[in-house]
Structure 1
């Protein structure tokens, strides 16, 4: 497991990992990574709230939402569907991330999505919109301008908000950005180009999200109000 976590944190090559752990055989390192990254990813489902738990919350605006983009090597065959405007039109994948607004808890992670084909609102419409209508018909989500077009479900900042509501929305969205930054501390989903294919990237992101949530739960990391 430590080999897998080192791989996710630094996204080192097998040679670099081998030197760090004093493991000579590269196939041993490869086997450990391929075994443990999916196992860590599988723990994410235990950390996410159930739809029943979410429906029992009293808040109307219950979740915040945002998309985060991760760089990858250009998939073959070439397609502009992988082009990410957040990454300077270079190849990437996008994940839809939703948090509970009043607890340090991830509620939803969806992806990888082709950012050149689906923008934020189109990604929301693919899956989470239906889940909200089915399980949380009386709840709403707070999103940024990229989620305009679903006003019956998603609220936004707007110039008519009273001062205290405007400040609350700003704080919630700043908190969402802070969570995304916690994910991006892991080099496998940040600056280094992912070189192991899109399917494996999903396992890496879910593993990173699960470990991040465990850190929030045991308070080794925090998601305190960024304005305090």
Structure 2
């Protein structure tokens, strides 16, 4: 009886040790499918449970659509790899892909190599599908409204700037137009001088110069009255 009890305890302890080793040598990652527009960015992460044990190596691997093998991702201009420790027993591995294109479509997963005990661990696969680029209607609307406001502001400020420039430069109104020149001769444009005209008047003598003046006839007296 005691021997059976001891064997049971030993078996349970062995299972606990196996479970602890399994938890401390595992990768936590979710299986998923992502649809990412072309030209955007993608970020994936997985958690490595190592329980503080050092000496493990690994990272992210990638499998193209038409390929059957996984290749390890390395940092480049578009691919950024990083990690951080959330606790003393786990570390998060991150991959950030900028300006994604059709060549980035495929399967991604984390793979780790353990030294004690020597083994390999693979996380769940994330399938990435790259779709055609989409235009953000809200951003295009904002850009259009910004352009309209910019044009209105420019049209309102233009008269003020023009008036300020005129005031600073002292621009006077344009002179009146010059009348067209006459194509007549010089002699026609010269004003003639006034000429003096002398007139001679001759008075004729009367034809009856030698005639005697008329005699006035004496009045006729019909009666005369004398008072004494």
- Fold conserved between structures, TM > 0.5: no
Computing the radius of gyration over CA atoms, which structure comes out larger, 1 or 2? 2
Greater helix content: 1
Shorter chain as normaliser: what TM range? Answer: under 0.3
Higher relative contact order (CA 8 A, sep 6+): 1
Q: Identify, as 1 or 2, the structure richer in strand.
A: 2
